């Protein structure tokens, strides 16, 4: 571990020096890339510096404990024990920091929410989840943008795709993929019976053009008139876009904008993200065969969470965590859930020996 940490510190110093180079400062792409790397390496280097200092403190305290008067030996023994405890904590922190990083963690995300079993009630809960995720984005300083939406007459959402942009967005949303179950009494239910409905969430890292090259010959692009709730342009111009990726049969539609060009651009962003995610899922399946308890596969069919309205609780089934904070969570306060999932995933990786 020490050798790797020395290499990281050396690289950190090289990057810091490069960031002050006028030729790098003038190259926006290179400066952005190096700034991101500098930010990623900073916590590792800070922990390593602390590790080095504590190791030195222990050695000095041991020397004092072996010599001097009785009072000095007692004081040195206390310092030695304190440094030893702090060193063990720092070493554990470094093991977590040295775990392999998900290369997508810093990317923006495309979130897709679809109502599942439960009809209109599922569509209404899909709208609740959309609000939860966008309110969370606002709290984190991220930006959200609707890419495509299909609404119901009662204010529910049959299906929605939206973009979340911000530094580290994928790292905060990636464990949300799966089936979300809601248990509550629908407004339309006169008998007061609790209904169970489901909503499917997919979280895709947004792919840049350099991540995935799509051959235009593989695309069938159709235009059609928008439908559903909207402005005066609805059903009057063929601004809606349907793109079919012929090799996979994947179909993406977008009708949210009045401009055909903007709809095509949004549809391509979703298509690119879905194709990249398909490759990511193949890799995740290989990892899952070795680490069955991982939480980050993003399996769309896995029931991951239950929102129980009568009891005011939210339960994440993957880690057995129950919080009686339903109202706050639906208001976008989901950090406690996300942090617990990240901690669990890190612990599983450490158990599997994926760190150094």
> Do residue 193 and residue 215 come from a single domain?
yes
Q: Encode pLDDT of 93-141 as tens digits.
A: 898 888 888 888 888 999 999 998 888 899 999 999 999 999 999 999 9
- Of 36, 64, 97, which residue constitutes the final position of a domain? 97
CA angle 67–71–76, rounded 5-degree value? 60
pLDDT digits (tens, 9 = 90+) for 181-230: 999 988 766 667 888 999 999 999 887 765 677 888 988 998 887 665 44
Containing 254, the helix (H) or strand (E) segment is strand 250-254
Residue tagged 């990511």 (tokens):
280
151 neighbors 158 (Cβ within 8 angstroms): yes
Within this chain, do residues 177 and 219 fall inside the same structural domain, yes or no? yes
- Specify whether 134 is located in the same domain as 236: yes
Q: Does 356 reside within a domain?
A: no
* Domain shared by 92 and 118, yes or no: no
30 shares its domain with 124: no
Cα separation of 206 and 193, whole Å? 41
Say if residue 23 is in the same domain as residue 43.
yes
Residue 102 within any structural domain of the chain: no
Distance CA 114, CA 120 (A): 12
Q: How far is CA 209 from CA 27, 213, 268, 273, in A?
A: 20, 6, 10, 10
Split at pLDDT 50, 70, 90, the class of 235 is very low
Claim: this prediction has a pTM higher than 0.75: no
Residues 223 and 146 in one domain: yes
Residues 44 and 122 in one domain: no
Q: Is 316 exposed, middle or buried (0-12, 13-18, 19+ CB in 10 A)?
A: buried
Specify if 198 maps to a domain: yes
Structure confidence at residue 232 as a pLDDT band (50, 70, 90): very low
Domain hosting residue 134, numbered range: 109-351
Same-domain pairing of 240 and 331: yes
At 251-307, the pLDDT tens digits run 998 887 778 888 898 998 899 888 888 877 776 665 555 444 445 444 556 789 999
Number of domains in the chain: 2
The CATH number of residue 76's host domain is 1.20.58
Give the C-alpha separation, 284 to 297, whole Å. 6
> What per-residue confidence (pLDDT) applies to 182?
95
The pLDDT score that the predictor gives to residue 102 is 82
87 within 8 A of 55, measured Cβ to Cβ = yes
Q: What is the pLDDT of residue 112?
A: 93
- Residue that terminates a domain, selected from 35, 65, 97: 97
Read off the CATH number of the domain in which 146 is found.
Answer: 3.30.70.1660
Pick the last residue of a domain from 34, 68, 97.
97
The whole-angstrom distance between residue 129's C-alpha and the CA centroid of its chain comes to 16
Q: Are residues 190 and 333 in the same domain?
A: yes
């Amino acid at each position: 571990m020490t050798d790797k940490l020395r290499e990281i510190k050396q690289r950190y110093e090289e990057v810091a020096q490069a960031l002050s180079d006028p030729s790098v400062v003038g190259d926006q792409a290179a400066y952005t890339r190096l700034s991101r790397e500098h930010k990623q390496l900073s916590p590792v280097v800070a922990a390593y510096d602390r590790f080095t200092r504590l190791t030195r403190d222990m050695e000095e305290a041991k020397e004092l404990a072996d010599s001097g008067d009785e009072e000095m030996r007692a004081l040195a023994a206390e310092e030695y024990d304190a440094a030893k405890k702090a060193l063990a904590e720092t070493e554990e922190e470094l093991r977590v920091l040295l775990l392999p990083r998900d290369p997508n963690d810093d990317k923006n995300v495309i979130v897709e929410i679809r109502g599942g079993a439960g009809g209109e009630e599922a569509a209404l809960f899909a709208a609740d989840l959309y609000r939860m995720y966008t309110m969370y984005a606002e709290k984190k300083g991220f930006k959200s943008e609707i890419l495509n939406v299909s609404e119901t007459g009662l204010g529910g959402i049959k299906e929605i795709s939206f973009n979340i942009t911000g530094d580290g967005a994928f790292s905060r949303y990636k464990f949300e993929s799966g089936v979300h179950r809601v248990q509550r009494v629908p407004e339309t239910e006169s008998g007061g019976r609790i209904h169970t409905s489901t909503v499917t969430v997919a979280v895709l890292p947004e792919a840049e053009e350099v991540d995935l090259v799509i051959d235009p010959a593989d695309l069938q692009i159709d235009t059609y008139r928008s439908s559903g709730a909207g402005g005066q342009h609805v059903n009057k111009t063929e601004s809606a876009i349907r793109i079919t990726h012929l090799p996979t049969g994947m179909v993406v539609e977008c009708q949210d904008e009045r401009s055909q060009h903007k709809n095509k651009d949004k549809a391509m962003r979703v298509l690119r993200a879905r194709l990249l995610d398909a490759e990511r899922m193949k890799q995740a399946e290989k990892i899952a065969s070795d680490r069955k308890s991982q939480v980050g596969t993003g399996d769309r069919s896995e029931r991951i969470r239950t929102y129980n309205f009568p009891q005011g609780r939210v339960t994440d089934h993957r880690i057995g965590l129950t919080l009686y904070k339903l109202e706050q969570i639906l208001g976008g306060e989901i950090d406690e859930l996300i942090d617990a999932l990240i901690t669990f995933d890190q612990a599983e990786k450490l158990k599997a020996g994926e760190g150094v």
